[in-house]
Amino acid sequence: MSMVSPDTTQRLRITLRGAVQGVGFRPFVYRLATQLSLTGWVLNSSGGLVVEVEGPGERVREFAKRIEREKPAASVVTARASAWLSPENSASFEIHFSEAGAVKTVNVLPDLATCPDCLKELLDPNNRRFLYPFTNCTHCGPRYTIVFDIPYDRRNTAMRRFELCSKCRYEYDNPLDRRFHAQPNACPVCGPKLDGTIQEAAAAIRDGKIVALKGIGGFQLLVEARQAEAVARLRERKHREEKPFALMMPSLEMAGQYCKISPAEIELLQSRAAPIVLLQPKPGTDIAPNVAHCSPYLGIMLPYSPLHHLLMRECPFPIIATSGNYSDEPIAIGNEEARTRLAEIADHFLMHNRPVVRACDDSVVRLTRGRAGVLRRARGYAPLGIRVKREVPPVLAVGGHLKSTVAIGVGNDIFLSQHIGDLDTLEARHAFERAIDDLCRLYSFQPEAVVCDLHPDYASTQWAEKSGLPVIRVQHHQAHVAACAAENEVEGPYVGVSWDGTGYGLDGAMWGGEFFYVNGDGFNRIQHLRPFQLPGGDTAVRQGWRSAASLLFEVFGSSKDANARNGVPHFSPLLREVGTTDSDLTKIFSMLSRGINVVSTTSVGRLFDAVAAITGLAHENRFEGQAAMLLENEIGAVRTEESYSLRSGNWDPLIREVMGDVETGVDRPLIAARFHNALVEWILEVAATAGLRQVVLSGGVFQNRYLVERAAAKLESAGYQVFTHHSVPPNDGGIALGQIAIESLQG
Ligand code: ZN
Ligand code: ZN
Ligand code: FE
C-alpha cells in the first residue's frame, strides 16, 4: 500500500459483526462517507453490516479509522473484516436494502430505554409525538421483544401491521433523520394505540388497586409501594410470600430520597438497559415494610419506555413493578393471555395493540467489585452474545432447572436466552420450549447435540433426553465455573470455586461446596465441604432448620448426650426458638441416626441455612437463598478480621464456635461476619494449596456481595487474579453458558 499515491482511487469493503443493526449504524456510515466525499454503499445483511467505500486512498483509510472510533454508542462490534477491491467508479453513496439468506451471525439487539431526544419530544406540546406512548428512534425503543426474524427490518417485526404515515415514512427514508430506518418508528396517526387511558390506570394505582400494564417485554403488575394493604393483596394473589418486589421510581431524584446511590449506580440506573438496580435503602422511609421485608437491598428502576414515563408523571411516588405472573411462572405477553392468566390478580388492565413477540422480564443488576453484576439477565441485555476465545461447537445447552436460561453456540459467540424462570410449572416448561425454538429460528441454528445437567429430574434434562439429539451431560458445578471462566476469557489452569444451594454431583450426592483444579477440559475436584446428611432431601432446601439439626446432631451427638433432657438434646431449645417443635426434632434425629430418607450434601448454601437457623435468624427459605441473604444483611456495618475455623471444609469446629457464641450472647452481626470470614479463609487456604495464580468464583452463593468482595480483595492482596461474574449471573441463570463453554474445551 505504501507504494500507492494517497490520491489513487481505492475501494475498501468493511464487514462488521456484533450488535450493529437497529442502532443507527447505517445513517452514521452514510454521514461519514458523504462527509469524506466517498462513494459506495452500506448494507445490513444477515451476515453483518457491510460497507464498500471508494475514493482517494487517504480518505478511504480515514473512513476505516473513524468508523470504529465514532460508531454509535449503542453498537457493539465483535468482529471486523476488511478487503481491498478493484474500484467500480461508483457515483454516489447509497444505503442498500437488506438481503435475505447468508449465515445468520448478526446479533439481535436488546431493547433500549427511551433516549433523551425522544423524551424531550414526548413532553413537548408542539411536537407531533406529544404524550405519544410509543415514541422511539434509532437510538432507543423496543428491539428484541418485537423481532420475529433477522435481518432486523420492519417487515420482520411486530410493527409490520402498522403502515407508516407519510410523515413517519419520510423520517424512515431520510438518511439524515434520527428515525432513518428506525424499525419501530410510529406516531399517533399511524402507530400502536392504547386500550384505555394512562389517567385511569394512574387513578387505580393511587386507589391501591393492582394494575396490569403491557410493557416492553410483557405484562407488569403495578401497585402503590407505600400502601401496605395493597402490597399484601398483591402478595396474596400472586402467591409470593416474601420475595422482595422491585420498584419503579418516577425520577432519579426520588430514587435518591429512598436509597443511597453511588455515581456508578446512577450510571447503571440511567443506562440504555435500564435494569432493576439493587440499592441500599435509607432507613425510615414510607415504603411499606412488606415490599422487601428484611432484604438488605431495594430493587429500583427508572421509567424506560414512553408509556412508563407518562404513567409515572401521574404517579409521583414509588410503585411496585413486578412481572405479570403467578410466583415464578413466565410473564404474560398477549392481551388475551393476560386477561385470562392475570384475571385473579389484576383489578385494572392497561393494554395496547403492539404485540410483544417474546417475554422478557426486567433485568436485575447489582454493583459488584465496582462493576455491574447481572443477577437476572433479560430486558436490555438479552440476547447479546458472549464472545468467547475458542470456536464453540454447534450445540444447544438447556441449562439447569431454577432460573432457567438456554443457549446456543454459533462460531465464537454463545447466545444466551433471556431469563425464563423456574421450570416447575407447565407454563414455564412451555416458555422453555419456546425459548429454544426462538433462539434456533433467529439464528437458523440446527443443533448437532444437546447439553444438559446431570440431574435426572430436571425438566431440562428430561427435555434433552426426548429431543432425539445426542445428549451430553455436564456436571452442574463444573458448568458454573466454566461459565465464569468463559465470560472472563480465562484460560486454564485455574482454581474454580463453585458454591451454591444444590446441584447433582458426580457421585449422586447433593453438591454445592466444590473446588476444582481446572486445566483444559479437565476438572479435578480438589476439595469440598465435609459432607453431612440432609434429612428429607429436597424438603431441607426449604426447611433450613433441618440442616442446623443435622450439623448439631453430628457435632454434639444425639439424645444420648449427657446434657439431653427428656430425650431431647441440649441444643434443641435453640431450634424451638426458630419455630421447630420437639416432635419435628425427634423425627429428624431418628432419620439421622438410622440413615433413613437422608441425602449426603456438600452444599455451602445449606451451611448458610444451618448458621441462619442456629443464630435464630431464619428457620426456612421462603424463596431461594433467603436465609443466606438475611445472614449477609445481618453483617451490616460490622467490620472484623475474626473468623471461625473451617479448615479444609471441616465444619465441626465452626459449628462449635457458632454455638459457643450464641450461648454466650455474642451479637449476631459479629457471628455473621465471623462466619463469612471463615468461608473466605477457606478459599485462601485451598488457593494456596493448589498453587495456581488464577481463581474463578461462581455459583449462587457468590450473589453474596460481602462474600465475593471480601474473597476477591483477600485473594488479590495475596497475589491472585480473581474472576467473578459480571455479564452473566453467578446463579443457575449462567449454567447454559457454562455447559456450552465446557463442550468447547473437548478435543
Ligand atoms: Zn429515541
Ligand atoms: Zn406516523
Ligand atoms: Fe447452581
User: From residue 411, how far is each of 31, 385, 436, 446 by CA, in Å?
Assistant: 32, 11, 18, 13
- 76 vs 289 pLDDT, higher one: 289
pLDDT for residue 584? 82
Could you read off the pLDDT of 696-744 as tens digits, one per residue?
999 999 999 999 999 999 999 999 999 999 999 999 999 999 999 998 8
CA of 452 to the centre of ligand 3 (A): 13
Strand residue runs (E) in 369-438: 371-376, 385-387, 395-397, 407-410, 413-416
Return d(Cα 214, Cα 205) in angstroms, integer: 15
Q: Hey, do 194-364 and 383-487+729-747 end up sharing a CATH topology, with the first three levels equal? A: no
CA of 168 to the centre of ligand 1 (A): 14
pLDDT for residue 673? 98
pLDDT over 60 at 100, yes or no: no
Q: Is the CA virtual torsion 693, 694, 700, 704 positive or negative?
A: positive
Instruction: Note whether 556 and 657 are within 8 A (CB).
Output: no
**C-alpha cell, 387:** 464472545
The secondary structure element, H or E, covering residue 44 is strand 39-45
pLDDT over 50 at 118, yes or no: yes
Nearest to 458 by CA among 745, 150, 735, 240: 735
CA of 51 to the centre of ligand 1 (A): 25
Residues of the chain with pLDDT > 90, as a percent, come to 75
Which ligand lies nearest the alpha carbon of 603? 3
pLDDT, mean over the chain: 92
Which ligand lies nearest the alpha carbon of 166? 2
Angle at 337 between CA 336 and CA 342, to 5 degrees: 110
CATH number at 383-487+729-747: 3.30.420.360
Nearest to 710 by CA among 681, 668, 741: 681
CA of 190 to the centre of ligand 2 (A): 4
pLDDT for residue 579? 64
**C-alpha cell, 366:** 447489582
CA of 122 to the centre of ligand 2 (A): 14
Thinking of the domain 9-95, which architecture would CATH place it in? 2-Layer Sandwich (3.30)
Which ligand lies nearest the alpha carbon of 140? 1
Which ligand lies nearest the alpha carbon of 116? 1
Which ligand lies nearest the alpha carbon of 22? 1
CA of 173 to the centre of ligand 2 (A): 13
CA of 179 to the centre of ligand 2 (A): 11
CA of 178 to the centre of ligand 1 (A): 8
Cα radius of gyration rounded to whole Å, the chain: 28
CATH topology of domain 194-364: DHBP synthase (3.90.870)
Q: At what angle do helices 652-663 and 668-690 cross, to 10 degrees?
A: 160
- 575 vs 230 pLDDT, higher one: 230
Classify residue 263 as exposed, middle or buried by CB count within 10 Å of its CB (0-12, 13-18, 19+): exposed
Ion ligand 2: residues, Cβ under 5 Å: 165, 168, 187, 189-190
Could you read off the pLDDT of 136-145 as tens digits, one per residue?
998 899 999 9
CA of 732 to the centre of ligand 3 (A): 5
CA of 122 to the centre of ligand 1 (A): 10
pLDDT for residue 572? 66
pTM of the predicted structure, to 2 decimals: 0.90
pLDDT over 70 at 490, yes or no: yes
Question: Average of pLDDT values for 305-318?
Answer: 98
Could you read off the pLDDT of 342-351 as tens digits, one per residue?
999 999 999 9
Q: Where are the domains of the chain?
A: 9-95, 110-139+150-191, 194-364, 383-487+729-747, 528-723
Which ligand lies nearest the alpha carbon of 142? 1
pLDDT for residue 368? 93
Could you read off the pLDDT of 134-191 as tens digits, one per residue?
999 988 999 999 999 877 889 999 999 999 999 999 999 988 889 988 999 999 999 9
pLDDT over 80 at 458, yes or no: yes
Thinking of the domain 528-723, which architecture would CATH place it in? 2-Layer Sandwich (3.30)
Which ligand lies nearest the alpha carbon of 132? 2
Could you read off the pLDDT of 664-696 as tens digits, one per residue?
999 999 999 999 999 999 999 999 999 999 999
Could you read off the pLDDT of 320-378 as tens digits, one per residue?
999 998 877 888 999 999 999 999 999 999 999 999 999 999 999 999 999 999 999 99
CA of 698 to the centre of ligand 3 (A): 9
Could you read off the pLDDT of 393-433 as tens digits, one per residue?
999 999 999 999 999 999 888 999 999 999 999 989 999 99
- Helices within 207-305 (DSSP H only): 228-238, 252-258, 263-269
pLDDT over 70 at 559, yes or no: no
CA of 143 to the centre of ligand 3 (A): 30
CA of 192 to the centre of ligand 2 (A): 10
Which ligand lies nearest the alpha carbon of 736? 3
pLDDT for residue 578? 62
